[in-house]
Amino acid sequence: MIYSVITGTGSYIPTKSVKNEDFLAREFYDTYDKPLEKSNQEVIDKFLEITTIAERRHITDDQVTSDIAFFAAEEAIKSAGIDREELDYIIFAHNFGDVKSDNRRTDIVPALASRVKNKLGIISPDAVAYDLLFGCPGWLQAVIQADYFIRSGDAKKILVIGADVLSRISDPHDRDSMLYADGAGAVIMEGKESAVPIGIIAHKTRSDTQAYLNMLHMGKSFEVDEVTGDNLYLKMNGRRLYQYALDTVPLAIKAALDKSGTHINEISKVLIHQANGKMDDAILKRLYALYGIPEAPADVMPMSISWLGNSSVATLPTLYDLIMKENLHLENLHIANALSADENEKHQINPGDTIVFASVGAGMNINALVYKV
């Protein structure tokens, strides 16, 4: 039987580090044209407590999303050791296209996947390049699509990219702008024949578009006199989104595990979209509670959000790449156990391990995937 296996990984972490104290001079508003009554120091301290984010990465003014995606793709191709001309598909998950530093309008024509294919110098017309917009779960949904292509016999090698530049679509007068970061990650997926299940063995996706449609949406700046005029920025109903994620993500993960016949105790790592540190910790606790287990293992959920922030579709492939290349220390894990971690130990994913990927985001969309290394 043919299974979809990740054979190469790559990521690009922007060089510009933006720390929480860099927001001290910002003019934050509570809602439209209503300044926050709290001091910026109070806002930043509360933000760190709620999200665990101490810094995030932003791209430089001369870069756009397709540039950093190209860097991650090059690294993934090199990691897999494949001939790029043999790629059957290039699937690029993003949400905002190429947004320039001096022009905040979305640019998605031609498709970003086509731009990356061009940058990679791929000549073959059989390497079909297209974009996928699915909120933060976009990269994982692209992986699921790639799995269908591979298992159907339509493709043998696929490049799946997740990249976003949130720093240019976040309202500088909205405290939620401190959440957002930039980044890119990519994987090469190949079809492998095996008598036992390997690679992707089950997945689950859901879309809740009625009551939860506008929890993430685009709107004008909170500062009505904002010089950028009619530009639209990412807006979030944080409290409702938090509760929605807690109520639904654990159920989606369990549905994928049940489909694969896997118990939570068989899982080595749970890789969740890096949206909010405490939210991810609460999701993990609820997941294990579904199995009657009061506490999750200390090292089961690696975290990168404290120093990389929320880079949307890029968080999962970047996290996976960091672990596979042993570049993520064990101290980066879910909050409940962070203080007891050995800062010199590194997260590892070993052959034979079973791991879970999961994400939640605009739509509202949720997906989960069970993967056998």
223-238 pLDDT, tens digit each: 876 555 678 999 999 8
Burial class (CB in 10 A: 0-12, 13-18, 19+), 100: middle
pLDDT on residue 341: 43
SS3 of 258-281: the string is HHHCCCHHHEEEEEECCCCHHHHH
The answer to whether residue 242 scores a pLDDT higher than 50 is: yes
Instruction: Please name the helix (run of DSSP H) or strand (run of DSSP E) that holds residue 162, with its range, or none.
Output: strand 157-165
The pLDDT-based confidence of 338 (bands split at 50, 70, 90) is very low
Confidence label for 349 from pLDDT (cuts 50, 70 and 90) = very high
Decide which of 49 and 229 is more confident.
49
Q: What is the dihedral of CA 23, 24, 25, 30, to 10 degrees?
A: 80
- Give the length of the chain: 373
**Of 22, 16, 12, which is closest to residue 178 (Cα–Cα)?**
22
Give the mean pLDDT of the chain: 93
Which spans in the chain are helix H? 40-51, 65-80, 112-120, 138-151, 238-260, 277-289, 305-308, 315-324
This prediction has a pTM of 0.94
**Residue 273 has which token pair?**
């979209």
DSSP type of residue 168: G
Q: State yes or no: cis peptide before 110, omega within 30 of 0.
A: yes
DSSP letter assigned to residue 340: G
Of 362 and 330, more confident: 362
Please report the pLDDT score of residue 337 as a whole number: 45
Summarize pLDDT for 169-212 with one digit per residue, the tens: 999 999 999 999 999 999 999 999 999 999 999 999 999 999 99
What are φ and ψ of residue 279, in 5° steps? -65, -45
- Rounded Cα distance, 280 and 293, in Å: 17
Percent of the residues in the chain that have a pLDDT greater than 70, as a whole number? 95
The predicted model gives 137-155 an average pLDDT of 97
User: Which of 21-35, 71-85, 345-359 ranks highest by mean pLDDT?
Assistant: 71-85
Query: What is the signed CA dihedral for 269, 273, 277, 279, rounded to 10 degrees?
Result: -100
Q: From 275, 296, 280, select the one nearest 178 (Cα to Cα).
A: 275
Domains, the chain, in order of start with CATH, read: 2-197 (3.40.47.10), 200-372 (3.40.47.10)
d(CA 151, CA 157): 11
CA distances from 74 to 70, 159, 168, 318 (A): 6, 10, 24, 14
Residue 293 structure tokens: 């287990």
Burial of 224 (0-12, 13-18, 19+ CB in 10 A): exposed
Q: Residue 333 has what pLDDT?
A: 53
pLDDT in tens, 65-83: 999 999 999 999 999 999 9
